[in-house]
Amino acid sequence: MKDLNIGMVGGGFMGRTHSNAFSQVNHFFDVPYRPVLKTICGRNAERAKAFAAQWGYQSVETDWRNLVDSRDVDVIDIASPNDTHAEIAIAAAKAGKIVLCEKPLGRNPAESEAMVAAVDAAGVANMVWYNYRRVPAVTLARQLIDEGRLGRIFHYRTKFLQDWTISSDLPQGGTALWRLDASVAGSGVTGDLLAHNIDTALWLNGHINEVSAMTETFIKERKHELTGKVEPVTIDDASAFLARFRNGSLATFEATRYARGHKALYTFEINGENASIAWDLHDLHRLEYFDHRDEGRLRGWKSIHITDGDHPYMKQWWVPGLQIGYEHTFIHQAADFLEGLGDGRSVSPTFRDALLTDYVTDAVLQSAKNRQWVTVKGQ
């Protein structure tokens, strides 16, 4: 097993999930590389040192450029806010590093296209952390679709609901609240939440041809944490769109941070000619399945507990009946990536795959602005 030195940019929420994944992956998966937590890069030296001590990083940097230049680092893992992704990824690719990046890839398609061009030109391995593909129940949904069990697909219905920005006293900008500042985030819930729904949908149901969207900013002004001034809010607080997939199915997508009572209710339901599938992040270890071909008297929705050895990823974990959670999705993604790296195979979602999601989010924002159907680029 070869060592693979990780240089992590950002020690926030995702810095923790990725560090945990790299620490755990060799305990559970037989992969050809051993990730070594080499260097954590954060802008605040004291906080970065504390992060290094807690997670076992060997050194600390406060400027990502030093990380990119370091001979000791093989992988640049970008877990910092969206406005940093393009610059760091492009520099890392030019330096010949493996580049992993959080979602969304860029703040807009122009940034994302430049990032794809950079990893292609450098020929470096790359991947984007759309982790929900690696929830075992979601991976099983993909297997059932690939096996043709659903038949022709008619409908795809998906939501991502939260409620944490309802208070008008919540400021915009700064740690975690950078999500409310479009200059940092790129967009609001469209790029932050719907990007997940879109990535999963493209993976499960194929290309999206066209969209018709509406967005709303419910709170128009908020104090900016960094300037101290009350400034206009430029993100979308809520976003909903209709879509037509290339396979002829119709879809509805909705995301908001104003659905009182919902914290991270990511759901999807797919209705096919023979069968339907439904999944809910709040109950992520279950897949709901209805098969019309079952014997009539016993036909009904099954709630499958995804904990058995023949369910995706599950034989690596505990014993049947014992469920796993959110953090494991990142461990699965790290395992798949390391296995692919060993075989010289790119592992999806690559930067190029994630660019397709950005084309959809861009079409959604355009459609909401122009109040017209928009054809999705690059599909």
Ligand X SMILES: NC(=O)c1ccc[n+]([C@@H]2O[C@H](COP(=O)([O-])OP(=O)(O)OC[C@H]3O[C@@H](n4cnc5c(N)ncnc54)[C@H](O)[C@@H]3O)[C@@H](O)[C@H]2O)c1
Q: Which residues bind ligand X (CB under 6 A)?
A: 9-15, 41-43, 64, 79-82, 84, 102-103, 129, 131, 175-176, 192
Nearest approach in angstroms of CB 278 to ligand X is 20
For ligand X, the closer CB: 5 or 200: 200
For ligand X, the closer CB: 10 or 35: 10
Nearest approach in angstroms of CB 256 to ligand X is 17
Q: Is 336 helix (H, G, I), strand (E, B) or coil?
A: helix
Nearest approach in angstroms of CB 206 to ligand X is 22
Residue closest to ligand X, measured at CB: 12
CB neighbour list of residue 221: distance below 8 Å, 6 or more residues apart? 230, 231, 232, 233
For ligand X, the closer CB: 249 or 333: 333
Burial of 49 (0-12, 13-18, 19+ CB in 10 A): middle
Closest residue by Cα to residue 36 from 55, 51, 54: 55
Nearest approach in angstroms of CB 176 to ligand X is 4
Nearest approach in angstroms of CB 182 to ligand X is 13
CB neighbour list of residue 14: distance below 8 Å, 6 or more residues apart? 79, 102, 129
For ligand X, the closer CB: 131 or 158: 131
What's the maximum distance between 2 C-alpha atoms anywhere in the chain?
Answer: 66
Chain centroid, CA 42 distance in Å: 21
Cα separation values, 228 from 45, 49, 222, Å: 24, 28, 10
CB neighbour list of residue 27: distance below 8 Å, 6 or more residues apart? none
Nearest approach in angstroms of CB 342 to ligand X is 24
For ligand X, the closer CB: 9 or 201: 9
245-273 core/surface letters (b: 16 or more CB in 10 A; e: else): beeebebebbbbbbbeebeeebbbbbbbe
Residues 198, 240: Cα–Cα separation, whole Å? 12
Name the DSSP letter for residue 224.
B
Residues 365, 371: Cα–Cα separation, whole Å? 10
For ligand X, the closer CB: 35 or 188: 188
Nearest approach in angstroms of CB 293 to ligand X is 35
For ligand X, the closer CB: 35 or 186: 186
